[in-house]
Chain A
């Protein structure tokens, strides 16, 4: 939703402009999907897919919630579950919970420095790994070894700065494009 300019009638959106806005809306989701598919390729690191998903979902949920609606999070979660061979639905639920929490805390977090956001994200990563572990245990009715979950949390937290840098660039570019309109 663009802010209304007072005193001037907004020009009716042309086809090109509408396509552009639409592209901006779906770009984060597509980027996330691409990153997941690449990470889920024959690289051999199973924890990489959730580790590239969570930073993107949380980043967009905090800084640009319009670009990461709940339905997109659902789709990403489903893709993650299919790519990681996790029990179906665990990744979906984990990502949705993280998304909801990020949305709830975005008014505080969006104004913080990068370091503070990273620290908060570390909590998110740990929580997501714990929730995923818990759900997997519930689904299988047995305790899986905890080491992969810890490893995944560390990997996720460690990957956040790289994603924050790239997505921050993207976000700034989008803001500039919107101002130019």
Chain B
């Protein structure tokens, strides 16, 4: 290092700014005089910096990608709702497909099968929960021009709901499958075993009286059984769930907690109808 005396160094440092300013003016004049000089210097600088920018390009692209993904993330909510709706529709198709499949299997087993007539149905609005003599029942509003019969079967968009037990002029009561008084003959779809679905007033009815030698398997689908001539065969009911205490229960397809519309099917079946409710009051005018 060159050793300078302190006054000289101070003088130099004081001088450096004016010298630099003069150099700046010089640069300006130089740039003005030779326009190509600046361009050449810029090219050299760009050449020097290009590897640096190239190294930077990768993370920059990553950041840009994340930013570009943001709207997509925001749209995910909408997408979810759409998918849920589609899932619902597909579940219905799945039920239809499974019913057709099992019917197909049946038909293959015995040819010359007499097909069932396509059932007619009416859709009615559920106007109130419970009421009446049953703990788990819903009241549905039926227009007077629709004739509802006792013994008709109610389904929601997913599966079996219950059976019409009482009919008024403008309303009907549907006994839900979860009611303690409900007994529904069902078929285990996989093993073709028969069983009884017995309501408990809880959200999941139990399975009882299944045929000997067949054990309801966890997750097995249940459909209604034609035994007893009360129900047509093959309406989707639910899936088997073994409870923690070792009791087979039924996870219903139908959302019995939030029924709003039910379809009333007339299969023309009577079977064992429930008796008229005891001490049923006369239909009041407001009904």
- Chain A residues in the interface with B (C-beta under 8 A): 37-38, 41-42, 69-71, 73-74, 77-79, 81-83, 85, 87-90, 92-93, 96-97, 99-100, 103, 135, 139
Selected contact of B45 from candidates A69, A82, A103, CB within 8 Å:
A82
On whether the beta carbons of A92 and B27 are closer than 8 Å, the reply is yes
On whether the beta carbons of A89 and B52 are closer than 8 Å, the reply is no
A20 to chain B, nearest CB (A): 16
24 residue pairs bridging A and B, Cβ less than 8 Å apart? A38-B56, A41-B56, A70-B17, A70-B20, A71-B16, A73-B20, A78-B27, A81-B31, A82-B45, A88-B27, A88-B32, A88-B38, A89-B25, A89-B27, A89-B29, A89-B31, A92-B24, A92-B27, A93-B21, A93-B24, A96-B20, A99-B17, A103-B17, A139-B31
- Residues on B with C-beta less than 8 A from A135 are 28
> Closest residue to B32 on the A side, CB-wise?
A139
A98 to B25, CA, bound (A): 15
Selected contact of A69 from candidates B16, B25, B31, CB within 8 Å:
B16
A132 to chain B, nearest CB (A): 12
* Known contacts A70-B20, A74-B20: A89-B30 contact under CB 8 Å: yes
On whether the beta carbons of B60 and A77 are closer than 8 Å, the reply is no
A100 to B17, CA, bound (A): 7
On whether the beta carbons of A87 and B17 are closer than 8 Å, the reply is no
Q: A70-B20, A139-B32 are in contact. List 10 more A-B contacts (CB 8 A).
A: A42-B53, A42-B57, A74-B20, A79-B45, A82-B38, A82-B45, A87-B28, A88-B37, A89-B29, A93-B28
> Closest residue to B21 on the A side, CB-wise?
A96
B20 to chain A, nearest CB (A): 4
A91 to chain B, nearest CB (A): 9
A38 to B206, CA, bound (A): 70
On whether the beta carbons of A89 and B20 are closer than 8 Å, the reply is no
| CB of B127 within 8 Å of the partner chain | no
On whether the beta carbons of B27 and A71 are closer than 8 Å, the reply is no
- Residues on A with C-beta less than 8 A from B30 are 88-89
A119 to B29, CA, bound (A): 34
> Closest residue to A77 on the B side, CB-wise?
B24
On whether the beta carbons of A87 and B42 are closer than 8 Å, the reply is no
Selected contact of A74 from candidates B23, B38, B52, CB within 8 Å:
B23
- Residues on A with C-beta less than 8 A from B28 are 87-90, 92-93, 135, 139
A146 to chain B, nearest CB (A): 21
On whether the beta carbons of A82 and B17 are closer than 8 Å, the reply is no
- Residues on B with C-beta less than 8 A from A96 are 17, 20-21, 24
On whether the beta carbons of A42 and B60 are closer than 8 Å, the reply is yes
A99 to B172, CA, bound (A): 92
Bitwise, B78-93 to A at CB < 8 A (1) or not (0) is 0000000000000000
Q: Which of A82, A85, A88, A93 has the most chain B CB within a 10 Å cutoff?
A: A88
| CB of B70 within 8 Å of the partner chain | no
On whether the beta carbons of B49 and A74 are closer than 8 Å, the reply is no
On whether the beta carbons of B45 and A83 are closer than 8 Å, the reply is yes
> Closest residue to B1 on the A side, CB-wise?
A18
- Residues on A with C-beta less than 8 A from B27 are 78, 88-89, 92
On whether the beta carbons of A41 and B20 are closer than 8 Å, the reply is no
A127 to B259, CA, bound (A): 73
A38 to B52, CA, bound (A): 9
Selected contact of A93 from candidates B13, B19, B25, B41, CB within 8 Å:
B25
Selected contact of A37 from candidates B13, B32, B42, B49, CB within 8 Å:
B49
A166 to B99, CA, bound (A): 70
Interface set, chain B 159-202, CB cutoff 8 A to A: none
On whether the beta carbons of B23 and A87 are closer than 8 Å, the reply is no
